[in-house]
Amino acid sequence: MAGVTFVRAAITETAELLAAMAGDDALCAATARAVDACIAALRTGGKIMLCGNGGSAADAQHWAGELVSRFCYDRPGLPAIALTTDSSILTAIGNDYGNDRLFARQVEALGTRGDVLIAISTSGNSPNVLAALEAARAKDIATVGFTGRDGGRMPALSDICIQIPSGSTPRIQEGHEVLGHALCAMIEAAIFPRQTV
């Protein structure tokens, strides 16, 4: 029964976080601004780049997949790329320049003005994520940070910073997932509105 108690407690903790997020006007407004930035980029021929480490790398790949393939319904693909997936590029950059340059080097190579970089770090202090934000700013690429309550160095380097009101890494990741899905759904609906008969 201890296992059941733990599961219920985990669900309750997440539910409480989601309720706090729903009532957080600044968080919801920042997410809406991030959506607007992505829509503006896509409508002018730009793309969305995403990066993060560990679970945040998984989020980057997940959200890119939802945009390139489909999310709520069938429609043409949207240009998004996770900078976390090419093992040859990642190991080459890590070997030649160090892990702190994993994402920045790709932003320098692939990013252009009019794109958006979505950078994900629960602590807000991941060196390679921060370096990517700096590289994006140098190229006049819009930057969106996803982080936790404290934010670390990320808010100062992000045009828009989405800070989940928690200090717990698992809860921050769960909050990111909810808002990442909202972001994908709103982008999809804006660029390719569902046709009703």
Q: Give me the pLDDT at residue 195, please.
A: 67
> For position 30, which CATH number holds?
3.40.50.10490
Rounded to the nearest 5°, which phi and psi values hold at 102? -50, -45
Task: Tell me: is residue 176 an annotated ligand-binding position.
Answer: no
Task: Tell me: is residue 95 an annotated ligand-binding position.
Answer: yes
Q: Give me the pLDDT at residue 197, please.
A: 39
Task: Tell me: is residue 100 an annotated ligand-binding position.
Answer: no
pLDDT tens-digit map of 100-114: 999 999 999 999 999
* Residues forming a β-bridge with 51: 119
Task: Tell me: is residue 87 an annotated ligand-binding position.
Answer: no
Look at the block and give the residue holding tokens 């968080």.
27
Q: Give me the pLDDT at residue 104, please.
A: 98
The answer to whether 183 and 34 have CB atoms below 8 angstroms apart is yes
Q: Is there a domain that residue 196 lies in?
A: no
**Distance between CA atoms of residues 40 and 47, nearest Å:** 10
Task: Tell me: is residue 158 an annotated ligand-binding position.
Answer: no
Q: Give me the pLDDT at residue 194, please.
A: 87
Instruction: Please give the model's pTM, rounded to 2 decimal places.
Output: 0.96
Q: Is there a domain that residue 68 lies in?
A: yes
Task: Tell me: is residue 121 an annotated ligand-binding position.
Answer: yes
Q: Is there a domain that residue 16 lies in?
A: yes
In this prediction, the residues of the chain whose per-residue pLDDT falls under 70 are 195-197
Residue ranges making up the domain that contains 114: 2-191
Task: Tell me: is residue 114 an annotated ligand-binding position.
Answer: no
Q: Give me the pLDDT at residue 134, please.
A: 98
**Distance between CA atoms of residues 92 and 60, nearest Å:** 20
Q: Give me the pLDDT at residue 157, please.
A: 98
Q: Which tokens sit at 191?
A: 């660029």
Q: Give me the pLDDT at residue 2, please.
A: 84
Q: Is there a domain that residue 36 lies in?
A: yes
Domains in the chain: how many in total? 1
